[in-house]
Each structure stands twice: as C-alpha cells, then as structure tokens.
Amino acid sequence: MSFLYPRLIAISRQNPNPVVGAQPYGGLQESNETIIASGIAAKIQADRQGTRPDTRLPGDAAGESIWKIIFKAARGLVQDRDIITDDLGNRYQVISAYWGPLVTTCRSQILET
C-alpha cells in the first residue's frame, strides 16, 4: 500500500459449472470462487455512468454507480465478470478491464445483497 494505492484488493473468479442444460440460478457465491490474486495495492474511485431513471423522482440517484479500481497487474490477470474484494469486504463485479502501459483499470459495479 502507498499514498497512490491506499487499498488492498483480492481478485477471484467463479468456478466453471460442469453441468449442462437448464439449471436454477446459482448467484455469485464466495464459496464457488477461486482466488486468482490477493494483497494487490489499489485505488478505488467512485464514478458515474448512465442517466437518471425515467421516473425523475426527487429521491432518484443521479445515475448508476460505477467504481473504477486502478492497480498494477499483469495484462490479462483480471477478466470481465471477475470479482474484486477490497480490504473493507466490499465486493465488485468487473464490467470491463483496460490494461494501460502502467496500470490496469477495472470499471466495476458493487455487489449488494
């Protein structure tokens, strides 16, 4: 951890399901994930995407909450739909990952129950 990367994250991926055919929804369960990497220093920033809901009620959020998680990692380490867990226990599902020359940036959505 450092001033630029003050948080710690772990990256996990859902285990493949060998069963074929129609199945009930299984959800995203920690017990069905494999940790790919942990102890990675990161920066987590709130971002916004999308427009206000059509109802335009006073209590509506300004847009969908998206989080940018920025860290140094090998190209291809994180993939779309991976789960990132931060040091506070928040879980984020990766929407898209971009590998730049210096850092990896993941646009993610927080997973809430």
* pLDDT tens per residue, range 13-37: 987 766 767 766 556 676 678 899 9
Residue 99 lies in a domain: yes
Domain range spanning residue 97? Answer: 7-15+30-50+61-111
pLDDT for 53 equals: 63
pLDDT for 32 equals: 73
d(CA 10, CA 34) in angstroms, rounded, equals: 11
pLDDT for 88 equals: 94
Kindly give the pairing relationship between strand 33-49 and strand 104-111.
unpaired
Its pTM stands at 0.79
pLDDT greater than 80 at residue 57: no
Residue 80 lies in a domain: yes
Residue 72 lies in a domain: yes
d(CA 37, CA 10) in angstroms, rounded, equals: 6
Instruction: Give 59's pLDDT tier (boundaries 50, 70, 90).
Output: low
User: 45-49, 71-75, 97-101: which range is least confident on average?
Assistant: 45-49
Burial 36-60 (b: 16+ CB within 10 A, else e): ebeebebbbeeeeeeeeeeeeeeee
Residue 23 lies in a domain: no
Number of folded domains that form the chain: 1
Residue 47 pairs in a beta bridge with 66
d(CA 59, CA 66) in angstroms, rounded, equals: 19
pLDDT for 50 equals: 60
